[in-house]
Amino acid sequence: MKLLDGRTLLANIKEELKSEVAAIIDHNERPPHLAAVLVGNDPSSLSYVASKEKACHQVGITSSVYQYPENFTENELLRVIDFLNNDQDIDGYIVQLPLPPHIDPNKIIQSISPDKDVDGFHPYNLGRMMMGQPSFIPATPLGIMQMLERYQIETEGKHCVVLGRSMIVGTPVSILLSRKAKPGNATVTLCHSYTQNLKEICLSADILIVAIGKPHFVTADMVKEGSVVIDVGIHRIPDSTKEKGYTIVGDVDFEEVSKKTEWISPVPGGVGNMTIAGLLMNTLKAWKQRNIRQNIY
């Protein structure tokens, strides 16, 4: 078993981005600026946004957070989005999901300017991605593709099974892996809650990508010997033996599954880091697109 080590990859990508940002600053340009909008106090969202801020700081990207209470209205949020769309000092921004139930996430996502949509969730970017045209690719799928590319995992002609069809991970990953590109050219099966014979399908996977949101869902009897397993899940499980009172686990039973795989991504230390890498890459791309349009860079 070999580890798909997201921490090391993130450190490498941060070094690459840091020197690009340093070159921008050397040219007396404003560094890239990423903003995050957070509504409410969801602990996972607070922790994601804090990690994104820290990573931005480490590479020299300016970061700002717009935080609002749980009872913030949809109209108030739309006004914030309008402000961010028009602020020339912000290259890209994300609206952290999930939003409180009284806010329609689709309405919000569709009002984000596509050229600042560094999450790649706007229909314009998702549509372009589907057509194989340049676009912002959602951060977690982009991070997973980077992981496959940088570890030189062959995807061409392989059977890739994706568990979970969310708009954030499963659906875009299935599109990217089946695209005529490198990595890509895979035969993809996208599984969800209505899939029959799930175990048999998983057993036929050369590459299994698990984004199902259930702790330890994938067990060793579902995994082919010598396959590649990428675990997107992140769950806090109460654990009184730990100082923090919880352990972090993924959607895969790492301990048992790792005995059968050739490559596997751990949790923590795997895809979570790659999501941050994807977001930083998209932010620099947004900066470049703005400045190329303005003939500065």
Residues recognised as catalytic: 52, 96, 119
Nearer to ligand GUN, 223 or 277 (CB): 277
Nearer to ligand GUN, 51 or 189 (CB): 51
139 binds ligand GUN (CB under 6 A): yes
Q: Binding residue for ligand GUN (CB under 6 A) from 3, 78, 97, 248?
A: 97
Nearer to ligand GUN, 54 or 199 (CB): 54
Nearer to ligand GUN, 36 or 223 (CB): 36
96 binds ligand GUN (CB under 6 A): yes
**What token pair was written down for 291?**
């400045």
Determine the interface stretch with ligand GUN among 67-75, 88-96, 99-107, 245-253 (rule: CB under 6 A). 88-96
Q: How far is the CB of 89 from ligand GUN (least distance, A)?
A: 20
95 binds ligand GUN (CB under 6 A): yes
Determine the interface stretch with ligand GUN among 9-17, 94-102, 191-199, 264-272 (rule: CB under 6 A). 94-102
| C-beta separation of 167 from 119 below 8 A | no
Q: How far apart are CA 109 and CA 103, in angstroms?
A: 11
Determine the interface stretch with ligand GUN among 21-29, 83-91, 93-101, 147-155 (rule: CB under 6 A). 93-101
Determine the interface stretch with ligand GUN among 95-103, 127-135, 190-198, 219-227 (rule: CB under 6 A). 95-103
108 binds ligand GUN (CB under 6 A): no
Q: How far is the CB of 90 from ligand GUN (least distance, A)?
A: 15
Contacts (CB under 6 A) with ligand GUN, residues 253-292: 275
Contacts (CB under 6 A) with ligand GUN, residues 149-178: 168
Positive or negative torsion for Cα 9, 15, 19, 24: positive
Nearer to ligand GUN, 146 or 275 (CB): 275
140 binds ligand GUN (CB under 6 A): yes
Nearer to ligand GUN, 227 or 283 (CB): 283
99 binds ligand GUN (CB under 6 A): no
- The answer to whether the bond into 268 is cis (omega within 30° of 0) is yes
Q: Which residues pair with 237 in a beta bridge?
A: 247
Contact set with ligand GUN (CB under 6 A): 94-97, 119, 139-140, 168, 275
